[in-house]
Amino acid sequence: MKKIFLPLLLLSALKLSAQDVEKIHRKAILIDTHNDIISNELITGNDAGKLQTTGNFDLVRAKTGGLDVQVFSIWCGDQYGNGTAYAYANREIDSLQALINRNPDKMMLVTNAKELKKAVKQKKLAAMVGVEGGHMIEDRLDYIDSLVKRGMCYLTLTWNNSTSWATSARDETLHGDTLQHKGLTELGKQIIHKLNDAGVMIDLSHPGEQTFKDVMAITTKPVIASHSCVYALNPHRRNLKDYQLKAIADNGGVVFINFYSGFIDSTYESKHAAFMARHKPQFDSLRVIYKDYDLASIRLNELNKGEADQLRPPLSMLIKHIDYMVKMMGADHVGIGSDFDGAESYPLGLDSVTDYYKITAELVKIGYSKKDIEKILGGNFIRVLKANKGK
Ligand SMILES: [Zn+2]
């Protein structure tokens, strides 16, 4: 049984019992489509199988939070490319597999809805592989097959860096005039067909608008955005505009909400830039230790918690993004893709994978039906996975 505990104050505001929320939360299959812990653990050497005092995810806290399915992001930065990125992706999958092998009673690798439900029934965390960044297939169609064999359920077509066959939101926005191509090339189109045929979900969280349009024109399967928020509420290049939300809903796809403060709150990034300027020497020394920018940034916030906490938006702001999407797309097209362990800041109250129930409680509070909450927490992911896999 998953145990959750609601603070008394929150309860009185909700006018419902902890048992009501706990019942809804426990009954739902809770799925998070984006977590970066595997990339981080390769650098820090921490064991996500044991309770950790840093970061957002480990198996102990996942159990407490009632997490049933986690898609682990397999990611490397743009310093990796042809000749190195595919090998790095495999190293990360090895690391995830080693975590599973060390904890066979607590988690199992799953690749389709049937296996996912089997894991849930056995009360094990269903671990899935999401590959974040088309650069990891190194322009090769056969690497898609190889990654499918290793469990890949989605491919994020680009990360912040473009590939030779698809342009990213960052590059289309910042370097639009100097790009050699914009959107999908011929190889890019072949890759979309290949992903559709192989049952791999196409993830449009990082690609630019031209790539988005080119994909939507040819995909034969529902797409996802594994960790994205609403542009109309915060005009960030990584957020999705209304026409994109509508197009994904029309296609039967799902957008999974990202918890990162910078995507939720339009005032966050400038406040964070000032914070970074104040702590530059400390950040520079953390970069020497961790190399990775995001990981150093996460540690910097942990070391200056009181100050960093003041920059966090309220949880209600994240709920506004969910509610906006539900109103625009319908409750069948929204889910959860936290980006935990991939960013330095999340709304107040969302500290780790123990805290998803607070979202459930807020959705109950604003009047969402049990059925819609179950879809948002996990049902929609299962539907889109099945639609891609064919089982
Ligand atoms: Zn990302």
In angstroms, what is the span from residue 21 Cα to ligand 1's centroid?
30
Query: Dihedrals φ, ψ of 334, to 5°?
Result: -130, 140
In angstroms, what is the span from residue 75 Cα to ligand 1's centroid? 9
The pLDDT score that the predictor gives to residue 320 is 98
Distance 238 CA to ligand 1 centre (A): 9
- Centre of ligand 1 from the C-alpha of residue 6, in Å: 31
Taking the C-alpha atoms of residue 225 and residue 374, their distance in angstroms, rounded to an integer, is 19
- pLDDT greater than 80 at residue 303: yes
Question: Which whole-number Å values give the CA distances from 370 to 30, 47, 245, in the listed order?
Answer: 13, 36, 23
User: Is the model's pLDDT at 109 over the cut of 70?
Assistant: yes
Mean pLDDT of the chain: 94
pLDDT-derived band at 177, boundaries 50, 70, 90: confident
pLDDT at 327: 98
Q: Inform me whether the pLDDT recorded for 6 exceeds 60.
A: no
Closest CA to 107 of 122, 95, 117, 93: 122
* pLDDT of amino acid 20: 85
The residue-averaged pLDDT of 126-152 equals 98
Residue with more model confidence, 214 or 22: 214
What is the rounded distance in angstroms from the CA atom of residue 383 to the CA atom of residue 305?
39
CA of 146 to the centre of ligand 1 (A): 22
* Residue 8 phi, psi (nearest 5): -60, -40
pLDDT in tens, 229-262: 999 999 999 999 999 999 999 999 999 999 999 9
pLDDT for the residue numbered 391 = 72
User: How close is the Cα of 72 to the center of ligand 1, in Å?
Assistant: 12
Residue of 148, 136, 155 whose CA lies nearest to 111: 148
**Model confidence at 5: pLDDT above 60:** no
Q: Bigger pLDDT: 169 or 7?
A: 169
What's the 15 CA to ligand 1 centre distance in angstroms?
37
